[in-house]
Structure 1
Amino acid sequence: MNHAVMPHKFTVALTALLLASCNAAPAEEPPLAGAAIGGDFTLIGEDGSDVSWSDFSGKYRIVYFGYAFCPDICPTDVQRAMAGLKQFEEDSPDLGAKIQPLFVTVDPARDTPEVVAEFTDAFHPRLIGLTGSEADIKATADKFAVYFTRGADSEAGGYLMDHSNITYLFAPDGSPLAMLPTDQGPEAVKAELDKWVR
């Protein structure tokens, strides 16, 4: 009886291929996969019209909660996030166009549509600012696991808002993907976008 004999080179190549497939790392899962973050809302856009979460179905979404009168953290975080997005857009214009950045105020008493429009225009031409009633802002913040509270009035009559400063990235279906590392600068933000935006 004749037994077929595989050529030695073929056997070695096949063995190497099988070992590689057994040891191949599984695709990395997004850090926020499965997290109960995000959800439907309807707030007021920069032109005074209603804007809903579902308006952005099919797009990746960058979401940040802050306020226009913030003296330091908010403008720094937003500047870094938007600078990272601009870098990503320069390298991948088609993919960059699939991302919609959103800024949601936690200070609706002062952040009118006009105020949030002025704030967002300073950072990115496509960044949309959202405001609304205190109840609607609170309900939306709760869905996005964002904490905020008003600080005490100063002698001059102003006040600060204490709030979470997380920059989220969501998938086109609205599910959470990752937090963008604004504390590490625009390059780190771009690197995170490179990982998840396809």
Structure 2
Amino acid sequence: MTDRTRRLVLPLAAFLFGVVALGIAAVLTLTPQGREVASSDVGGPFTLVDHFGTPVTQADFLGEPHLVFFGFTHCPDVCPTKLFEIAETLDAVKERSGRDMRALFITVDPERDTPEIMEAYVSSFDDRILGLTGTPEQVDAVVSAYRAFARKVPLDEGDYTMEHTAIVYIMNEEGRFVAGLNTAKAPEEAAEELLARI
């Protein structure tokens, strides 16, 4: 890439990232009628399967605050980066407070992300991250309940990728949405923010 091309592409990429971030923020904060969304409007009942093949519902995670992140195992960069940041944040939380928090990694690509594939994927990050999958209908219901976004994007030769929300949701012990967590901060700062909100 030439210097001239780089000068043109990098600002455009930053602008597009900003537009996507604003769109996600709007989805989380506004209803279609323009009213603010209460925290209780994000999240809700679900039935999925964890990466051990065990059926789980939202009730299995009540009683302790936890994180939720949507992604998929074929994700080239956003998901592995975010899961690494989540793992580092969980380490920092443990160091600061002694608490062993959990994170749920919910696939938006259930056609490819079987429990076995999810287990192999999340085990490379942290054993406090639990991979969840299900039928396409079950996954669509969770994505909708969390006011998230996921869309299949066709690629060459019949392959595809997924566009999806990249927010890390902080859920309290009652399973209610508290806020999004900025894991791009230093792990100690992200942990401090997280502990202040739960």
What TM-score does the superposition give when structure 1 sets the normalisation length? Answer: 0.77
Aligned to 1:42: 47
Partner of 1:85: 90
After superposition, what is the alpha-carbon deviation per residue over 1:17-55, rounded to whole angstroms, capped at 9, x for unaligned?
xxxxxxxxxxxxxx9993210001010111212011101
Deviation, structure 1 residue 187: 3.2
**Cα displacement string for residues 146-186 of structure 1 (whole angstroms, at most 9, x for unaligned residues):** 1001111323x432100110100111011111111023342
Equivalent position of 2:174 in the other structure? 173
Could you say which residue in structure 2 is the equivalent of 1:18? none
d(CA) in 2 for partners of 1:54, 1:33: 22
Q: Distance in 2 between matches of 1:114 and 1:150?
A: 22
What residue in structure 1 maps to residue 22 of structure 2?
none
Partners of 2:82 and 2:159 lie apart in 1 by 22
Q: Which runs of 5+ in 1 are unaligned?
A: 1-30
Q: How many Å apart are 1:188 and its aligned residue?
A: 3.3
Report the 3-state secondary structure (helix = DSSP H, G, I; strand = E; otherwise coil) of the residue aligned with 1:183. coil
Residue 111 of structure 2: which of 103, 109, 112 is its match? 109
Cα distance change on mapping 1:137 and 1:123 into 2, 3 Å: same
Look up the match of 2:16.
none
Q: Equivalent pairs: percent with the same residue?
A: 34
Point out where structure 2 has 5 or more consecutive residues left out of the alignment.
Answer: 1-28, 30-35
- Tell me how far apart the structure 1 counterparts of residues 175 and 58 of structure 2 sit (CA, whole Å): 8
1:186 is matched with: 187
Q: Would the aligned equivalents of 1:150 and 1:159 in 2 still touch at CA under 8 Å?
A: yes
Match of 1:129 among 131, 139, 158: 131
TM (normalized to structure 2)? 0.77
Q: Distance in 1 between matches of 2:169 and 2:181?
A: 6
Partner of 2:18: none
Aligned twin of 1:15: none
1:195 aligns with: 196
Give the Cα separation in 1 of the matches to 2:113 and 2:73. 7
